[in-house]
Chain A
Amino acid sequence: MRIGDAKQSYEADEAIWTSSTQKFWFAVFLLVLAVFPFVADAYLLYIGCLVGIAVISTTGLNILTGFTGLISLGQAGFMGVGGYTVAWFSLHTALPFPLTLLLAGLLTAAVGILVGLPSLRVKGLYLAIATLAASVFLHFIFAEWQAVTGGMGGLSLPPAHLFGLTFQSDFEMYFIIVPLAVVMVLAAKNVFRTRTGRAFIAIRDRDISAEILGINLLRYKLMSFALSSFYAGVAGGLFAYFYRVVTPESFPLSLSIFYLAAVIVGGMGNLLGGILGAAFMTLIPEMLNLLTATLTPFYPNAPVFMSPMLGIIFGALIVGFLIFEPNGLGEIWQRVRRFFRLWPFRN
């Protein structure tokens, strides 16, 4: 049971770390992340990088869908913009990776603002369909604008580099992806301690009330789109550096649904939940792979069932979480914490 944590100022109340225990555990978590690449094998490293990319993209979508209440089916398209930007700049210039990623983020943010413009006119499901239309157009551009995107064949790009160092293996990429993921999640956390972040939440909770409170709806909705797309663009850029190839098929509609599912499974409007959701959704295919590998000696047909089973499990998770646990993994996490905090007075 934790006692004596009465808050005496607003600053203390909205601080990210409210107790030394939390700081301690966060330090332990960072230490684990830092040590992880030195002890993990190649496969775990690969998964670690994938989770990192997924965390950035999910956090971005969470800002838009979870915190501002604007549902988007365009996340994969935005990631594609980021991926192609990084690929193009890596092929045509000698810019180091922080700059290409920044450019990817900014360009995607610009595209995000463009896509967000209809949010002036429509909202809710209509907006979702507008973003769906945007992703159809983006996919079309990726596939047809031969001169820049390389058409259906896509682009292969050189590895990321900075000050003469190149980042090629999963081990090296880990040190780009994971620190960036930590920084970007913390940045998102901080956004929601400012006026901007609170405006997003106010819009989600009731847009008319928000407008009466003096929040310029169009401006803040577009800001939310821009911020969310920035995250998607960076995630897409990392995706490009990680796989070193981008094609139109790298960013299908199902990827948008994947991230929406990660936000829902994690818990909408909950950054920690988003992280859990991203990790969970990334791990499911890998666990299924593992299961298939163990089953193959007994059932030689097992690999054939792998991909359909994945679709069924994804769908069932989305439906199941929405019906039975609408607040997602983040809520489950809170419940576990509450148990320990109140122990032994309540059990």
Chain B
Amino acid sequence: MDWLFFGEISLAGLAMGGLYGLIGLGFVIIYKATRVINFAIGEIMMFAAYLFLAFAGGMEMSPWVALPLAVLGGSVLGGVIEKVMIRPMLGESSISVVMVTIGLASILVGLVELGWGADPQLLPEFLPRKPVFLGELYLAPKIAYGFLIGATLLLVYLLYFRFSRGGVALRATASDQAAAYSMGINVRRVFNLAWVFGSLAASLAGVLVAATGGLSPQFGAVGLSVLVVVIVGGLDSILGALIAGLFIGWLETVAGAYLGGQYRMPATFAVLAVILVLRPYGLFGTHEIERV
């Protein structure tokens, strides 16, 4: 066994996994606050990546202006989705709400295809091209810097939720809506903000992932990997999303490198199946599943 190769593959997988963790974080924020499983998260990522393509490629802005704009666009999209589609579904069965997000995913794919065509596209290069070495191990610069940017946002989020007023409101709403409401927290606004913040994390990750692997209307399929991440980590656990993100990213890349690309999905879904049978609430999630 070539340990150097294994190390490089693992490193690339972990870096990718860091981005999965970021997307998973976006997913978990939305789930914690509103109890909505967002099947459209991959498509929100894709939408933001296409916005970046439009700003940086089409309008020829500097990528460092286009990136915040695209992320902002994705967050606004999240807020609008919450207002228009999720709010009216309040109190409906969770299956109905999930189906709404599936329908939304289909709409977003259609819109993107309408606007930019069905062909795969490359994002303009904006990350430094100098190869990165960690000791002996080579890491593709796009992946390395993508990971760094993602990790920075992740850190900001964690600090925000821990210390800021908004973060406390969000955690309060997540743990008990009625109590939060009676303490004067504007629960409606928290719902909306959760979608905005969740989409923000997904949007940034979307641009970074698209920068390494290219962009097409099928890009939203990344959402399936993220689904695995959050189920394995536990739907309502931020820590779980981060650890499971790293693990699933690593597993996917290693399976792809050693067994072939067609094994990426089955490998992660096998982990998912095992987790569903043994620990349905995930590695770190709250035990709340009824077994009947």
Question: A residues bordering B, Cβ < 8 Å?
Answer: 65, 71, 118, 120-126, 128-130, 132-133, 136-137, 140, 143-144, 207-208, 211, 217, 257, 260-261, 264, 304-305, 307-319, 322-323, 326
Q: How far is A136 from B231 in the complex, measured between Cα atoms in Å?
A: 16
Query: What are the 8 closest A-B residue pairs judged by CB atoms, nearest first?
Result: A318-B103, A315-B106, A311-B110, A315-B107, A312-B110, A308-B113, A319-B103, A315-B103
* CB of A253 to closest CB in B, whole Å: 8
Q: How far is A315 from B266 in the complex, measured between Cα atoms in Å?
A: 27
* CB of A199 to closest CB in B, whole Å: 14
Task: Report if B280 contacts A (CB, 8 A).
Answer: yes
Question: Which residues of A sit under 8 angstroms from B109, Cβ to Cβ?
Answer: 308, 311
Question: Which residues of B sit under 8 angstroms from A124, Cβ to Cβ?
Answer: 94-95
- Evaluate whether A323 and B106 lie within 8 angstroms (CB atoms) in the complex, with A124-B95, A260-B99 already known: no
Question: B residues bordering A, Cβ < 8 Å?
Answer: 37, 85, 88-89, 92, 94-96, 98-100, 102-114, 117-118, 224, 227, 231, 262, 265-266, 269-270, 272-273, 276-277, 280, 289-292
- Evaluate whether A140 and B102 lie within 8 angstroms (CB atoms) in the complex, with A130-B276, A311-B107, A323-B85 already known: no
Question: Which residues of A sit under 8 angstroms from B292, Cβ to Cβ?
Answer: 123, 207-208, 211, 217
* CB of B57 to closest CB in A, whole Å: 20
Give 7 pairs: A residue, B residue, CB < 8 Å, sorted on A.
A118-B276, A125-B95, A133-B273, A208-B290, A315-B105, A317-B103, A319-B103
Interface on chain B toward A: helix, strand, loop, or mixed SS? Answer: helix
Q: How far is A128 from B227 in the complex, measured between Cα atoms in Å?
A: 11
- Evaluate whether A140 and B106 lie within 8 angstroms (CB atoms) in the complex, with A122-B276, A126-B280, A129-B227 already known: no
Closest residue to A308 on the B side, CB-wise?
B113
Asked whether, in the complex, the Cβ of B280 is within 8 Å of the Cβ of A322, the reply is no
- Evaluate whether A261 and B103 lie within 8 angstroms (CB atoms) in the complex, with A128-B95, A133-B272, A144-B262 already known: yes
Asked whether, in the complex, the Cβ of B37 is within 8 Å of the Cβ of A125, the reply is yes
Question: Which residues of A sit under 8 angstroms from B104, Cβ to Cβ?
Answer: 315, 319
Asked whether, in the complex, the Cβ of B107 is within 8 Å of the Cβ of A319, the reply is yes
Question: Which residues of A sit under 8 angstroms from B111, Cβ to Cβ?
Answer: 308, 312
Q: How far is A135 from B225 in the complex, measured between Cα atoms in Å?
A: 14
Asked whether, in the complex, the Cβ of A136 is within 8 Å of the Cβ of B265, the reply is yes
- Among B98, B227, B265, the residue within 8 A (CB) of A140 is B265
Q: How far is A71 from B280 in the complex, measured between Cα atoms in Å?
A: 16
Closest residue to B96 on the A side, CB-wise?
A322
- Evaluate whether A71 and B276 lie within 8 angstroms (CB atoms) in the complex, with A318-B100, A322-B89 already known: no
Asked whether, in the complex, the Cβ of B277 is within 8 Å of the Cβ of A121, the reply is yes
Closest residue to A117 on the B side, CB-wise?
B277
Question: Which residues of B sit under 8 angstroms from A217, Cβ to Cβ?
Answer: 292
Q: How far is A137 from B269 in the complex, measured between Cα atoms in Å?
A: 8
Question: Which residues of B sit under 8 angstroms from A122, Cβ to Cβ?
Answer: 276, 280, 289
Asked whether, in the complex, the Cβ of B114 is within 8 Å of the Cβ of A309, the reply is yes
Closest residue to B217 on the A side, CB-wise?
A308
Q: How far is A136 from B264 in the complex, measured between Cα atoms in Å?
A: 11
Asked whether, in the complex, the Cβ of B110 is within 8 Å of the Cβ of A310, the reply is yes
Question: Which residues of A sit under 8 angstroms from B96, Cβ to Cβ?
Answer: 322, 326
Question: Which residues of B sit under 8 angstroms from A140, Cβ to Cβ?
Answer: 262, 265-266
* CB of A223 to closest CB in B, whole Å: 16
- Evaluate whether A318 and B99 lie within 8 angstroms (CB atoms) in the complex, with A136-B265, A310-B110 already known: yes
Question: Which residues of B sit under 8 angstroms from A128, Cβ to Cβ?
Answer: 95, 98
- Among B92, B103, B273, the residue within 8 A (CB) of A326 is B92
Q: A144-B262, A323-B100 are in contact. List 18 more A-B contacts (CB 8 A).
A: A124-B94, A124-B95, A132-B227, A133-B276, A260-B99, A305-B114, A307-B113, A308-B111, A308-B112, A308-B114, A308-B118, A311-B110, A312-B106, A314-B106, A317-B103, A318-B100, A326-B92, A326-B96
Question: Which residues of A sit under 8 angstroms from B114, Cβ to Cβ?
Answer: 305, 308-309, 312
